[in-house]
Amino acid sequence: MMRAIVLYKQVSRELMRAMHPRGLQPVRFGETVIPDPVLHAILGFMFIYVVSIVLLTLLMVATHLDIITAFSAVVACLNNTGPGLNLVGPSTTYAVLTDFQTWVCTWAMLLGRLEIFTLLVLLMPAFWRR
C-alpha cells in the first residue's frame, strides 16, 4: 500500500513540476522525504508489476482463454488472493485450466510470493556468473 501512496504522490509531484519547473517539490511519506533512488525503485517495481500482468494475461489469452478469466486469474495469482472471475470465480476452481495455463498461474504466484525483483534477478545469467 505504501508503494501505491508514494506512486500517487510522485504523479502529483510531476504534475506540479509541469506547472512550476523550477520549484522544489519533495515527495513525503508522513514527515519523511522519500529520496529519489527509492522513488526510482518504486517506479521500477510498479512498471515490472504492470508489465508482468499484461504479458502473463496475453499469454493466457493466447491459449484461447477469455480475457476476463485470464486477467483475473493472473491478478489473483500474482497477488496471492485466491479466486478470480468468470471460470476461476469464487464458486469454481482453477481445475478448468489446462496444464500450460496452470503453469502460467504458478509462475505468477512465484512472482508475487517471492517479490518480482528477487525472481527476475535469479533468472538473469549475470547472477550465476562468478
- One-letter amino acid at 41 equals A
What pLDDT shows up at residue 13? 87
State residue 55's pLDDT score.
95
The residue type found at 109 is M
Give residue 57's pLDDT: 96
Distances (CA, A) of 27 to 11, 12, 35, 37, 41: 10, 9, 8, 12, 14
- Per-residue confidence band for 86, with pLDDT thresholds at 50, 70 and 90: confident
Res. 130: pLDDT tops 80: no
Residue range 64-82: mean pLDDT, rounded: 92
Mean pLDDT of the chain: 89
pLDDT for position 30: 85
Look at residue 42 and tell me whether its pLDDT is greater than 90. Answer: no
pLDDT value of position 50: 92
